Amino acid sequence: MTVSTASATAAKAAPLEAGAARKAIDRVGLPGWIQAMPFGLVFLFFFVIPLILVVIVSFWDYNDYEMLPSFTTRSYTETFEGCLTQLPDLCTILKTYLSTVKFCFIVWVTTLIIGFTVAYFLAFYVRTVTMQMVLFLVCTIPFWTSNVIRMISWIPLLGRNGLINLALERAHLVDKPVEWLLYSPFSVGLAFTHLFTFFMVVPIFNSMMRIDRRLVEAAYDSGASAWQTLWNLIIPLCKPGIVIGSIFVVTIVMGDFITFDVMGGEQIASAGKVVETRLNALQFPPAAANAVILLVVTLMIIVGLNRIVDVRKEL
């Protein structure tokens, strides 16, 4: 009995001693700011410093051959040149940004509807976790290939002699090929939706998996319909995922120019295309100025989204 009692006492004391040892290690451990320093240095050297350099270059002067390190607002004034004199008409740069924001809104709506539907199906209609993960991985298959390859794969379908036009003509639904399927705003929006819907699926699916299923059952037991449960319970609880996915989509679309070129036939202007054109002309200060303007516009949209949900609490 004495040995058994001693063993039981030792077994009870072991967790206490382990906890005390962990507390002692925590007390002598490194401060949090030192532990975060490597990540802070990476953020500093690869984001903050390059951003500061871009802002500095945007205020430099330039000519046809070189940049001149002297302070001037020439790049900004030339960018918005004529905006005040053309009122109430919009100048070229404002039309370009308005067009980019319009595409951003359209893509956001389409990706949100499709992404929410896919995430809702995976979270609430697929019962087993294994099947959820399998189907979720299936959604990642398109990301195993390049964005450019996925874009140009639409051309054989949407072109004048593409499969869709051939099918429409053989079904006698049209007399001649439909022109607006390719190299048009429709094809640009379609490509964006195809490329970036997954950025909506992932955060929304993550938010839905955190929802306590007992809340859903309680809503149904209280007599709520499927639509009432979706609108009053699931969507409010999914707001963090919706906002995070929206930030991903908005930031990517606002800075994109390759999709506009490939799917728009270089006929649709975009804010990213303005920066790319300036860089090709070796006009680095105007390119930096337009990059800063694009960054400010994108940050304004992100701040507006953060007004809905504090994303920092979800990360």
The residues near 81 (Cβ < 8 Å, ≥ 6 apart) are 91
Percent over 90 (pLDDT), the chain: 12
Please tell me the predicted confidence (pLDDT) of residue 299. 87
**Cα(71)–Cα(289) distance, rounded to whole angstroms?**
13
Q: Find out if CATH 3.40.50.720 is the number for domain 84-314.
A: no
List phi, psi (to 5°) of 274: -60, -45
List phi, psi (to 5°) of 178: -80, 120
Which of the two residues, 87 and 177, has the higher pLDDT score? 177
Q: Which of 153-162, 194-203, 219-228, 304-313 has the lowest mean pLDDT?
A: 304-313
Residues 59-89 pLDDT 10s:
998 887 778 888 888 888 887 776 656 665 6
Four-residue CA torsion sign, 186, 191, 196, 200: positive
Residues 235-280 pLDDT 10s:
888 888 898 899 889 888 988 888 888 888 878 888 888 888 888 8
pLDDT of 96 above 60: yes
Please tell me the predicted confidence (pLDDT) of residue 93. 80
Mean residue pLDDT across the chain: 82
Q: Where are the domains of the chain?
A: 84-314
Task: Determine the residue type at 124.
Answer: F
pLDDT of 219 above 70: yes
Q: Which of 287, 285, 297 is nearest to 58 (CA)?
A: 285
Report the pLDDT averaged over residues 77-104. 77
Please tell me the predicted confidence (pLDDT) of residue 89. 63
**Cα(140)–Cα(251) distance, rounded to whole angstroms?**
20
Four-residue CA torsion sign, 290, 293, 297, 299: positive
Specify whether the CB–CB gap between 311 and 247 falls below 8 A: yes
Q: Which of 210, 192, 203, 277 is nearest to 240 (CA)?
A: 203
For residue 115, name the pLDDT band (cuts at 50, 70, 90): very high
Please tell me the predicted confidence (pLDDT) of residue 35. 81
Tokens of residue 9, six digits: 């006492």
Residues 1-38 pLDDT 10s:
444 444 444 444 444 455 555 554 455 566 777 888 88
For residue 97, name the pLDDT band (cuts at 50, 70, 90): confident
For residue 307, name the pLDDT band (cuts at 50, 70, 90): confident
